[in-house]
Amino acid sequence: MHAFRSHTCGELRSSDVGSTVKLSGWVHRKREHANALFIDLRDHYGISQVVVYPTAEFYEAAKRCPSESVITVTGEVLARDAEAVNKELDTGDVEMRAETFLIESQADPLPLPVFGEQEYPEEIRLKHRYLDLRRDTLHKNIIMRGQVINSLRSRMIAQGFTEFQTPILTASSPEGARDFLVPSRQNPGKFYALPQAPQQFKQLLMVAGFDRYFQIAPCFRDEDARADRSPGEFYQLDMEMSFVTQEDVFNTIEPVMAGVFEEFGGGKAVTAPFPRIPYKESMEKYGSDKPDLRIPFELSDVSEFFLDESKTGFGIFAKITKGGGKVIAIPAPGATDNQSRKFFDSLDKWAKKEMQAPGLGYARLKEEGGAVVSQDPALKNFEPELLKALLEKMGLKAGDGVFFSAGKKNDAYKLAGAARNKVAADLDLIDEDAGFKFCWVVDYPMYEWDEDNKKVDFSHNPFSMPQAPEGKSAMDVLLEADTDAKKLDILAYQYDIVCNGIELSSGAIRNHKADVMYKAFEIAGYGPEVVDDKFAGMINAFKFGAPPHGGIAPGVDRMVMLLAGTDTIRDVILFPMNGQAQDLMMNAPAEVDASALKELNIKTVPVAPKD
RNA sequence: GCGGGUGUAGCUCAGUUGGUUAGAGCGCUGGCCUGUCACGCCAGAGGCCGCGGGUUCGAGUCCCGUCACUCGCGCCA
């Protein structure tokens, strides 16, 4: 017989009754009874019940064997009595009577119980990640992650893509985040950057004629963490294809995404086809370029209703709208009927505190004398006709509530978008059974106004191809943009995939023409030397015959997160870092020996004390 | 960098208006129990109430500071 096992702990069935087997695994749970000690023995595959009788010479040892110790037992498989069958277990029809018992590795008292589904502090979970990973949910998530990646690979290969490995030690890439830098020993004073994405490499692969590239690509960005963004590193299904339009990229990747979500989504509905929402429309309806389409209401721009203070009796919004600002309304269906004033106040408080906004106005709508009215300040003194028109525009009725986000256009929409999500969550209006609501967000602007530097700058990926109407070239469009306003009107072949309010990926048809590239950078205030210096590899390549090409890069971690039904990205990553970008298990980052620094020609300076 | 929340037993949490010896469940240790499967029952051990300072006759509780974790903003496809 094998040294450790003849069967796994998930394998035994009635058909094995009578045979002698050997099992190894972790002591999941023990139940001591007067006549018998029951041990739930667990491995990767499942749980089997092992019975130890007091007559066994190892009874005391088994009884004292701590939870999560690793043991090897041999014994006969017995059928359970009908009333003793456990239908919860695949192996519940049988049990094993232990005839030998060996502790392979005894466990100390646990900092984190493996049994059960209770929640535990992140710090302990991360420090003892190997214990956390033994737990059922996390264990299954990680397995699914592997299966999802496998499925993504198969689907891409089936469409004629080839997987390539691009360099990890490379030069700074253009994604706009902070780089992780790696000092070069052989080139003192110089640094590699870890790739924020294999952006330039994949485009170079197109120039090299490979036609269809993909990679489960590690990406590195030195930015602060969020619940859905782990610090430092993440994986993308990075892909690029030649001689394609935006439509071709959509037709290629949409079935991959939909297919994987159907395969692993546990039967939940998957949107098909993905609706396409222009960026501008997405901002106006949802206050975000990552709309959660499960939420059954949209924003309205109600600025015009507040322009004339004499008709509204509400000076604050009149002042804001006259100054070019916006008032954006967020419906709260049923909130007046179902919620107390505290709910409305709490959202205002949330806006002030968490969103650091001036506040969130609100009005509760009630029936009075056949009309819908509100006693709250924002709408209290409205002219009846104007109020009626406002409510009609928004589709609001008595019993509903409405919030108002007011301020500069971008600020107002941003708060409104966040408020839409919060109102929906607080009122429990997000239909969790709606499944996976995908959409494409398209027609991103090429440029945006950089308030800090008072200039036009790239809004997203600078390598996107500007959109041009029929009969005009991208160069024509750029040349005609002789004012800031016109520059800001230029759209790009840039797109995102969003699912349930989570941004899964972004991509673009690339700008493969060197002259258009220089011009695009010039508009954003960068001279040709910037392009030549920062993006040398790519711009040089474009001078020797570059195919039109485009691609996209869906985030693998976020896909798995959605499929696993968690809103914490750490739940789908094997060994995540904490919010401060520290690996508590491996103690990284860490100081290094002086000799190592010397070899790298690096000196560290003390952190300046805080004032 | 900024803001919110949290911090009490190994873990999850309660702890009222500032008032006697800080509690419960899980886990752990010991005992009991004729078959459990979240077994049950009895007993026990286990506390720098995050840390430092202050107010007070008296602080887990109030005030100030600080640290840690976490969520969000900034940042970031």
Interval A207-253: pLDDT, tens: 999 999 999 999 999 999 888 898 889 999 999 999 999 999 999 99
Give the residue-averaged pLDDT of A110-136.
85
The pLDDT score that the predictor gives to residue A611 is: 38
The pLDDT score that the predictor gives to residue A455 is: 84
The pLDDT score that the predictor gives to residue A175 is: 65
Minimum-distance nucleotide, CA of A80 to C1': B35
- Look at A97 and A352; give whichever has higher pLDDT: A97
CA→C1' distance for A242 and B56 (Å): 77
Q: Tell me how many degrees the CA angle A87-A90-A91 measures, rounded to the nearest 5.
A: 95
Q: Which of A546, A446, A557 has its CA nearest to residue A505? A: A557
DSSP codes of every residue in A1-47 = --SS-SS-TTT--GGGTT-EEEEEEEEEEEEE-SS-EEEEEEETTEE
Q: H-helix or E-strand containing A225?
A: none
| Residues A323-335: tens digit of each pLDDT | 888 999 999 999 9
The pLDDT score that the predictor gives to residue A598 is: 92
- Quote the CA–CA distance of A570 and A376 in Å, as a whole number: 43
CA→C1' distance for A118 and B19 (Å): 36
Minimum-distance nucleotide, CA of A175 to C1': B77
CA→C1' distance for A121 and B63 (Å): 29
Minimum-distance nucleotide, CA of A464 to C1': B77
CA→C1' distance for A220 and B70 (Å): 23
The pLDDT score that the predictor gives to residue A517 is: 93
Cα–Cα distance list, A283 to A176, A278, A299, A357 (Å): 22, 9, 9, 18
CA→C1' distance for A121 and B60 (Å): 21
Give the residue with minimal CA–C1' separation from B33. Answer: A34
Reading the block at residue A327, the tokens are 């008032």
- Look at A354 and A527; give whichever has higher pLDDT: A527
| Residues A277-289: tens digit of each pLDDT | 999 999 999 999 9
CA→C1' distance for A342 and B56 (Å): 36
Whether residue A16 has pLDDT greater than 90: yes
Residue A1 binned pLDDT confidence (cut-offs 50, 70, 90): confident
CA→C1' distance for A10 and B45 (Å): 37
Q: Residues of chain A with pLDDT > 90: what percent? A: 69
The pLDDT score that the predictor gives to residue A448 is: 87
The pLDDT score that the predictor gives to residue A141 is: 93
Helix (H, G, I), strand (E, B) or coil at A241: strand
Minimum-distance nucleotide, CA of A289 to C1': B77
Minimum-distance nucleotide, CA of A85 to C1': B37
Highest mean pLDDT among A149-158, A338-347, A401-410: A149-158
Query: Do A220 and A207 touch, CB atoms closer than 8 A?
Result: no
CA→C1' distance for A577 and B17 (Å): 44
Q: A561-582: b or e for each residue (b if 16 or more CB lie within 10 Å)?
A: bbbbebeebbbbbeebbbeebb
The pLDDT score that the predictor gives to residue A610 is: 43
Give the residue with minimal CA–C1' separation from B6. Answer: A121
The pLDDT score that the predictor gives to residue A174 is: 63
Q: A404-432: b or e for each residue (b if 16 or more CB lie within 10 Å)?
A: bbbbeeebbbbbbbbbbbbbbeebebeee
CA→C1' distance for A77 and B64 (Å): 67
Reading the block at residue A521, the tokens are 């950078």
Residue A346 binned pLDDT confidence (cut-offs 50, 70, 90): confident
Query: Do A574 and A218 touch, CB atoms closer than 8 A?
Result: no
CA→C1' distance for A505 and B75 (Å): 18
Minimum-distance nucleotide, CA of A126 to C1': B69
Query: Do A61 and A94 touch, CB atoms closer than 8 A?
Result: no
Whether residue A568 has pLDDT greater than 60: yes
Beta bridge partners of A328: A301, A405
Helix (H, G, I), strand (E, B) or coil at A259: helix
Sign of torsion over alpha carbons A132, A134, A136, A138: positive
DSSP codes of every residue in A476-537 = HHHHH--SHHHHHH-BBSEEEEEETTEEEEEEEEB---HHHHHHHHHHTT--HHHHHHHTHH
CA→C1' distance for A109 and B45 (Å): 15
- Look at A459 and A270; give whichever has higher pLDDT: A270
Whether residue A609 has pLDDT greater than 60: no
CA→C1' distance for A107 and B33 (Å): 27
Give the residue-averaged pLDDT of A476-489.
92
Minimum-distance nucleotide, CA of A459 to C1': B77
The pLDDT score that the predictor gives to residue A456 is: 87
Which contacts (CB < 8 Å, 24+ apart) does range A102-107 have?
Answer: A102/A71, A102/A72, A102/A73, A103/A61, A103/A65, A103/A69, A103/A70, A103/A71, A104/A24, A104/A69, A104/A70, A104/A71, A104/A72, A105/A69, A105/A70, A106/A65, A106/A66, A106/A69, A107/A27, A107/A66, A107/A67, A107/A68, A107/A69, A107/A70
The pLDDT score that the predictor gives to residue A607 is: 66
The pLDDT score that the predictor gives to residue A343 is: 85
Radius of gyration of chain A (CA): 30
The DSSP code for A187 is S
Q: H-helix or E-strand containing A169?
A: none
Helix (H, G, I), strand (E, B) or coil at A153: helix
Minimum-distance nucleotide, CA of A452 to C1': B74
Amino acid at A342: K
- Quote the CA–CA distance of A549 and A359 in Å, as a whole number: 46
Minimum-distance nucleotide, CA of A236 to C1': B77
CA→C1' distance for A110 and B7 (Å): 21
Predicted structure pTM score: 0.91
Q: Which of A283, A203, A264, A207 has its CA nearest to residue A463? A: A203
Query: Do A447 and A158 touch, CB atoms closer than 8 A?
Result: no
Give the residue with minimal CA–C1' separation from B74. Answer: A224
Reading the block at residue A93, the tokens are 């029809």
Give the residue with minimal CA–C1' separation from B30. Answer: A64
Give the residue with minimal CA–C1' separation from B1. Answer: A224
Nucleotides of B under 7 A from a protein CB: 1-4, 10-13, 26-30, 32-40, 67-77
Give the residue-averaged pLDDT of A145-155.
97
Query: Do A202 and A238 touch, CB atoms closer than 8 A?
Result: yes
- Quote the CA–CA distance of A27 and A42 in Å, as a whole number: 6
Give the residue with minimal CA–C1' separation from B73. Answer: A355
Minimum-distance nucleotide, CA of A68 to C1': B27
| Residues A73-107: tens digit of each pLDDT | 999 999 999 989 999 999 999 999 999 999 999 88
CA→C1' distance for A106 and B33 (Å): 27
CA→C1' distance for A349 and B65 (Å): 26
CA→C1' distance for A33 and B40 (Å): 9
**What mean pLDDT, rounded, does chain A reach?**
91
Minimum-distance nucleotide, CA of A60 to C1': B30
For tokens 């693998």, name the residue: A556
Minimum-distance nucleotide, CA of A121 to C1': B69
The pLDDT score that the predictor gives to residue A608 is: 58
- Quote the CA–CA distance of A37 and A34 in Å, as a whole number: 8
CA→C1' distance for A116 and B14 (Å): 22
Give the residue with minimal CA–C1' separation from B11. Answer: A112
Minimum-distance nucleotide, CA of A49 to C1': B37
- Quote the CA–CA distance of A146 and A140 in Å, as a whole number: 10
